[in-house]
Amino acid sequence: VKDKKDILNQAVERLTKTKVSSGPPQEVADATVARLTEMSGSSEQPNMWRIIMNSKITKFAAAAVIIIGVFIGINQFGGSIDGASVAWGQVVEQLNNYTKYKCRQRVVREKGPEVLAMDVYHLNLSLRRQEVENGDIHIIDMRGTDAITVELKPAEMKATVTKLLGFGPRKDPHIIEMVKRFEQESTERLGTKEVDGKILQGFRHTPDGHNDYTVWVDPETKLPVEIELVHTQRGQTIFLDEFEFDFELDPSAFSTDIPDGYEVETLINDYRPVEAKDVTAEDIRSKLNHTAYTVEKLPWMEKIITIETIDPLGTRTKVYMTGIYSNDGNAMIIVQGDYYDIKRMVWIPNQQLVLETPGGIELYTHPNDAIYAKYFLESFAKAKPEFFDIKNLSEERFTWMIVMPDQTILSLSANKQMSDEKVQELVESLTEIKEQEYAIQSPDGPQEFIPHSCIKTVYRRGELSLQKKVYHKTLSLRREEDFDHSSIKIFDLSTKPARILILDPENRKALLKIHYDMGPAKNPDMLAMLAARRKDDSQKLGIHEIDGISAEGFRRVNAYNDITIWANMETGLPVKMEIVHLKRNQTLVFTDFDFETELDESLFLTVSPEGYDLQTITTPEK
Amino acid sequence: VEYWSKVTNWQSIVDKHGGLVWSIACRLLGNDADAADCFQETFVSAFEFSRKQRIRSYPALLSRLATVRAIDQLRSRNRPTNLPDCRDVVDNNPGPQQHLAADELAEQLRLALSKLPPGEAEVFCLRCLNGLSYRAIARHLGIKQNAVGVMLHRARQKLRGLLKSVVVSDEREVLP
Q: Any CB–CB contact under 8 A between B96 and chain A?
A: no
DSSP state of A257: S
- Whether the per-residue pLDDT at B141 is higher than 60: the answer is yes
The answer to whether the CB atoms of B57 and A362 lie below 8 A apart is yes
Q: Which residue has the higher pLDDT, B15 or A340?
A: B15
Worst-scoring range by mean pLDDT, A54-58, A104-108, A363-367, A505-509? A54-58
Q: Any CB–CB contact under 8 A between B33 and chain A?
A: no
- Summarize pLDDT for A252-276 with one digit per residue, the tens: 899 999 988 888 887 776 667 667 7
For residue A612, count other CB atoms closer than 10 A to its CB: 17
Amino acid at residue number A8: L
Mean per-residue pLDDT for A447-475?
A: 82
The answer to whether the CB atoms of B105 and A7 lie below 8 A apart is yes
Find the residue in A nearest to B140 (Cα): A359
Q: What is the pTM of this model?
A: 0.38
Tell me the pLDDT of chain A averaged across its residues.
78
Contact A215, A205 (CB under 8 A): yes
Mean per-residue pLDDT for B29-44?
A: 88
Q: Which residue has the higher pLDDT, A39 or B150?
A: B150
- Summarize pLDDT for A203-245 with one digit per residue, the tens: 888 876 667 889 998 888 888 899 998 877 667 788 999 999 8
Picking from A8, A24, A359, the nearest residue to B36 by CB comes out as A24
Sequence-ordered list of residues with C-beta below 8 angstroms from that of A456, at least 6 positions apart, any chain: A467, A468, A469, A470, A480, A588, A589, A590
- Summarize pLDDT for B55-90 with one digit per residue, the tens: 777 888 898 899 999 998 888 876 543 333 322 222
pLDDT for residue A41: 56
pLDDT for residue A56: 31
pLDDT for residue B99: 40
Across the A/B interface, how many CB contacts are shorter than 8 Å?
172
Q: How much of chain B exceeds pLDDT 90, in percent?
A: 14
Residues of chain A in contact with residue B169, where contact means CB-CB under 8 angstroms, are none
Mean per-residue pLDDT for A552-576?
A: 80
The answer to whether the CB atoms of B27 and A18 lie below 8 A apart is yes
Which one of B1, B17, B153 makes the best mutation probe of the A interface by having the most chain A beta carbons within 10 Å? B1
Q: Any CB–CB contact under 8 A between B111 and chain A?
A: no
Note the ipTM here.
0.79
Picking from A8, A16, A342, the nearest residue to B156 by CB comes out as A8
Contact A322, A379 (CB under 8 A): no
The answer to whether the CB atoms of B3 and A24 lie below 8 A apart is no
Q: Residue A4 phi/psi, 5° resolution?
A: -70, -20
pLDDT for residue A131: 92
Picking from A7, A8, A405, the nearest residue to B56 by CB comes out as A405
The answer to whether the CB atoms of B23 and A28 lie below 8 A apart is no
Sequence-ordered list of residues with C-beta below 8 angstroms from that of A289, at least 6 positions apart, any chain: A57, A58, A60, A61, A338, A557, A558, A559
Worst-scoring range by mean pLDDT, A283-287, A426-430, B63-67? A283-287
Find the residue in A nearest to B141 (Cα): A359
Q: Residue A164 phi/psi, 5° resolution?
A: -105, 85
Picking from A18, A48, A51, the nearest residue to B106 by CB comes out as A18
- Whether the per-residue pLDDT at A39 is higher than 80: the answer is no
The answer to whether the CB atoms of B40 and A28 lie below 8 A apart is yes
Q: Measured between CA atoms, how close is A384 to chain B, in angstroms?
A: 31
B165 band by pLDDT with thresholds 50, 70 and 90: low
Mean per-residue pLDDT for A339-361?
A: 76
Residues of chain A in contact with residue B133, where contact means CB-CB under 8 angstroms, are 358-359, 428
Residues of chain B in contact with residue A14, where contact means CB-CB under 8 angstroms, are 102-103, 105-106, 109
- Whether the per-residue pLDDT at A50 is higher than 50: the answer is no
For the ranges A13-22, A300-309, A445-454, the maximum mean pLDDT occurs at: A300-309
Q: Measured between CA atoms, how close is B20 to chain A, in angstroms?
A: 8
A427 band by pLDDT with thresholds 50, 70 and 90: very high
pLDDT for residue A85: 30
Mean per-residue pLDDT for A535-563?
A: 77
pLDDT for residue A307: 92
DSSP state of A286: H
Q: What would the DSSP string read from start to end of chain B?
A: -HHHHSPP-HHHHHHHHHHHHHHHHHHHH-SHHHHHHHHHHHHHHHHHHHHHS--S-HHHHHHHHHHHHHHHHHHHHHTTT----HHHHHHHS---TT--HHHHHHHHHHHHHHTS-HHHHHHHIIIIIT---HHHHHHHHT--HHHHHHHHHHHHHHHHHHHHHHHHHHHHHH--
